[in-house]
Amino acid sequence: MRFENKVCIVTGAASGIGRATAIAFAEEGAKVVLADLEDFESVKSQISNPESHIYLKCNIAKREDVVELIKTTVDTFGRLDCAINCAGIAGKLSLPVHEYPEEEWLNQIQVNLVGTYYCVKFQLEQMMKQGGGNIICVSSAAGLVGQPDNSSYAASKHGVNGLVKSAAIEYATKNIRVNAICPTAIETPMIMHGRRNLAENPAALEQAKNHQRMKRMGQPSEVADVALWLCSDQSSFITGHCMAVDGGAFA
Ligand SMILES: NC(=O)c1ccc[n+]([C@@H]2O[C@H](COP(=O)([O-])OP(=O)(O)OC[C@H]3O[C@@H](n4cnc5c(N)ncnc54)[C@H](O)[C@@H]3O)[C@@H](O)[C@H]2O)c1
- Cβ–ligand 1 distance for 114 under 6 Å, the answer no
| Average pLDDT of the segment spanning 54-58 | 98
**According to the model, what pLDDT value does residue 103 have?**
98
Alpha-helix runs per DSSP H in the chain: 16-27, 41-44, 63-77, 102-108, 116-130, 151-170, 189-192, 202-210, 220-231
Give residue-wise pLDDT tens across range 133-165. 999 999 999 999 999 999 999 999 999 999 999
Instruction: Give which of 17, 134, 20, 24 is closest to 83, Cα–Cα.
Output: 134
Q: CA 166, CA 168: separation in Å to the nearest integer?
A: 5
Give residue-wise pLDDT tens across range 197-222. 999 999 999 999 999 999 999 999 99
Indicate if the pLDDT at residue 26 is higher than 90. Answer: yes
β-strand pairing of 242-245 with 82-85? unpaired
Q: Which phi and psi angles does 217 have, rounded to 5°? A: -85, 160
Query: What spacing in Å lies between the alpha carbon of 4 and ligand 1's midpoint?
Result: 26
Indicate if the pLDDT at residue 196 is higher than 90. Answer: no
pTM for the full predicted model: 0.98
Please state, as a whole number, how many other Cβ atoms lie within 10 Å of the Cβ of residue 130. Answer: 14
Indicate if the pLDDT at residue 52 is higher than 90. Answer: yes
Instruction: Quickly state the pLDDT bin for 72 (edges 50, 70, 90).
Output: very high
Name the burial class of residue 237, with classes exposed (0-12), middle (13-18) and buried (19+) by CB atoms within 10 angstroms of its CB. Answer: exposed
3-class DSSP assignment, residue 181: strand
CATH topology classification for 7-186+220-245:
Rossmann fold (3.40.50)
Q: CA 100, CA 82: separation in Å to the nearest integer?
A: 36
Ligand 1 atom nearest to 14, measured from its CA: 39
* Residues whose CB is less than 8 angstroms from the CB of residue 46 and which lie 6 or more positions away in sequence, other chains included: 19, 23
Indicate if the pLDDT at residue 30 is higher than 90. Answer: yes
Report CA dihedral (135, 136, 139, 141) to the nearest 10 degrees. Answer: 130
Q: CA 38, CA 186: separation in Å to the nearest integer?
A: 20
Q: CA 181, CA 103: separation in Å to the nearest integer?
A: 27
- Mutation choice for ligand 1 from 68, 145, 187, 188, CB with most ligand atoms inside 8 A: 188
Instruction: Quickly state the pLDDT bin for 167 (edges 50, 70, 90).
Output: very high
Q: CA 230, CA 134: separation in Å to the nearest integer?
A: 8
CA angle 18, 123, 231 (to 5 degrees): 55
| Average pLDDT of the segment spanning 88-94 | 95
Indicate if the pLDDT at residue 101 is higher than 90. Answer: yes
Candidates 55, 100, 118, 153; catalytic one:
153
Task: Identify whether 117 is a catalytic site residue.
Answer: no
Q: Which phi and psi angles does 137 have, rounded to 5°? A: -110, 125
- Cβ–ligand 1 distance for 14 under 6 Å, the answer yes
| Average pLDDT of the segment spanning 59-76 | 98
